[in-house]
Amino acid sequence: MFAYCNNNPIRSVDSAGTLPINSYYVDFLEANLVGKAADGSTVYVINSTYTVVTSDTMSGFISSYSDSFSITFTVSTDGFIQFDNNQASAGMILIAPIGKAIANEILDTINTDFGEDFLFGRTANGLLFEMVTHYTANMLGAKVGPSHLTDMGSISIDKNALAFESPLKHPDLWIEMLF
């Protein structure tokens, strides 16, 4: 039934219909300051290269290829990180190891450049969960708020932050966000 992914639909995908993709490896990922935008926000670009490994357990065929992408995020003057879900490479956050590396790089960059209090109470997992949720809502055509833009702040200024950091502890925040 799941021959398209070597009978392992949890760990493998075959989006091209050729061979299942078994692994993604982040070879390089780094955020660099681009400069200031007209509104005073700070603009960063993350450049990355990654390797995809595919294999077919039936034939023993293994192949790999590398690719790269760039993705931007901004830090607004009011204390929020903004990630535009409409940029060409935004979907890379959905690939677990790449998304996790992006969230870690954003968190590390902000902590280094603005101090650890800037994103007080936030974790890389919480940031990734928020980016994936907004990206998915945007792709599904959600009309509630600007779903194309993920605004992430510290738990002291972003009332939605707690919902993404510990969603099971704060169902009331989810209800408020959705309705």
- Condensed to tens digits (0 to 9), the pLDDT of residues 73-89 reads 999 888 889 888 888 88
Q: Which of the four pLDDT bands, split at 50, 70 and 90, describes residue 112?
A: very high
**Percentage of the chain with pLDDT > 70?**
71
Mean pLDDT, range 76-105, rounded to an integer: 88
- 50 Cβ contact partners less than 8 Å away, ≥ 6 residues apart: 24, 25, 26, 27, 66, 67, 68, 69, 98
Which one-letter DSSP state was computed for residue 50? Answer: E
Mean pLDDT, range 142-168, rounded to an integer: 71
Report which secondary-structure segment, H or E, holds 129: helix 124-139
**Percentage of the chain with pLDDT > 90?**
26
Mean pLDDT, range 172-178, rounded to an integer: 61
d(CA 1, CA 18): 16
pTM here?
0.77
Question: Is residue 41 pLDDT above 80, yes or no?
Answer: yes
pLDDT (0 to 100) of residue 168: 62
